[in-house]
Copies of this chain bind each other. A is one copy, B any other.
Amino acid sequence: MPTISDVASLAGLSRATVSRVINNHPYVTKEKKELVMDAMKQLGYFPNTSAQNLRKQKTDTIAVLVPRLTNPFFTHLVESLEDRAAEYGLQILICNTKYDKKRELEFLYLLKTKQVDGIIMTSIENNWGQIEEITMNGPIVLCNEYITGANVSSVRLNQLEGGYIGTHHLIQKGHTKIGYCWGGVLSGLSYDRFEGYRKALAGQGLSINENWLFEGVFSIDDGRRVLNEISEMYDRPTALFTGSDEVAAGIISEAKKKGLHVPGDIAVIGFDDQPIAEVIEPALTTIRQPISEIGKKTMEVMIELLSKKNQSDEHQIYELPLQLIARESS
């Protein structure tokens, strides 16, 4: 592989001049520039990125942590982040944490090993205490997920409102026995969404039945599991608020398999408004998250942070709107 020196000698110029051409610096005459370009083409030269990164002390790469790559919500979010990053000449490194504390921590260390200039977290597994120390090494921005005590900027949705409008919708449909499913730990996003659920119930003088609370529910299969648990209950909920469209789809599919009618026997409400929501039957009532906008805003916040040298402690919270999409499952 040719190096910058090879290009320099073929062009009859110094390495400095070649470097100026590579980086589009001014003050290089047209003739020399062409000389360099010709030499580069002739040799099939490409600059060594590791050398550039080492010298420049930056990589123009942002790590994006996602909890589960097979969840379409996150791949759509990643695509949005990626589009925006490309506009600013940044690369994205997709990091699949699999909801694992240790994997997350290892990815966060990418900032310490200088493999990335910043990190966007769309999920949080560790306590903020663990993570905070890493903010010394570069900007971290929270995207969608958040956590109490985090002293970094975040772009998020009003999850309390999301939990509220979903639950309130079910109540308006006449339900009083409403179950609730969520994924990981009840903190940040999940906590607020649950608070919205609780608030909506309380507003109508309803209280929470602990038997109808299901945690660790992430996937289609988890949804099936939940429905099976319910169908064995003596006192069953008549409606379910779920944390994702996939879970809702699993519940609906299993309900039909068992001969239950949706929404007659059990109403279901999803979250995200993924493509699957319109394909399943009955079509899914769900809460639409503005994925594209949240990705775009997050990357803009990151760019802004990258541009200022002094890592000031001030951080902002940007909140985007949610929307209930009423279909047939409720």
Task: Please state if A50 and B59 are interface contacts (CB–CB under 8 Å).
Answer: yes
* A46: chain B residues within 8 A (beta carbon): 109, 112-113
Task: Please state if A113 and B47 are interface contacts (CB–CB under 8 Å).
Answer: yes
Task: Please state if B96 and A48 are interface contacts (CB–CB under 8 Å).
Answer: no
Q: How far is the CA of A169 from the CA of B267 in the complex (A)?
A: 37
What's the minimum C-beta distance from A211 to chain B, rounded to whole angstroms? 26
Copies of this chain assembled into the complex: 2
* A219: chain B residues within 8 A (beta carbon): 275
Binary per-residue interface labels of chain A (15-36) against chain B in the complex, 1 for a CB within 8 Å, 0 otherwise: 0000000000000000000000
From 85 to 137 in chain A, residues with beta carbon under 8 angstroms from any chain B beta carbon are 93-94, 96, 109, 112-115, 137
Q: Select the stretch in A76-84, A160-168, A302-310 that faces chain B.
A: A76-84
From 145 to 182 in chain A, residues with beta carbon under 8 angstroms from any chain B beta carbon are none
Q: Which of B50, B75, B278, B280 contacts A115 (CB 8 A)?
A: B50
The binding surface of chain A is classed by DSSP as: helix
Binary per-residue interface labels of chain A (239-253) against chain B in the complex, 1 for a CB within 8 Å, 0 otherwise: 000000010011011
Task: Please state if B59 and A69 are interface contacts (CB–CB under 8 Å).
Answer: no
What's the minimum C-beta distance from A160 to chain B, rounded to whole angstroms? 29
Known: A249-B279, A276-B276, A281-B256. A50 touches B47 (CB 8 A): no
20 CB contacts below 8 A, A to B, read: A1-B137, A44-B112, A46-B109, A48-B113, A50-B50, A50-B51, A50-B114, A69-B69, A69-B79, A70-B75, A82-B96, A93-B93, A219-B275, A220-B279, A246-B275, A249-B279, A253-B279, A256-B281, A279-B280, A281-B281
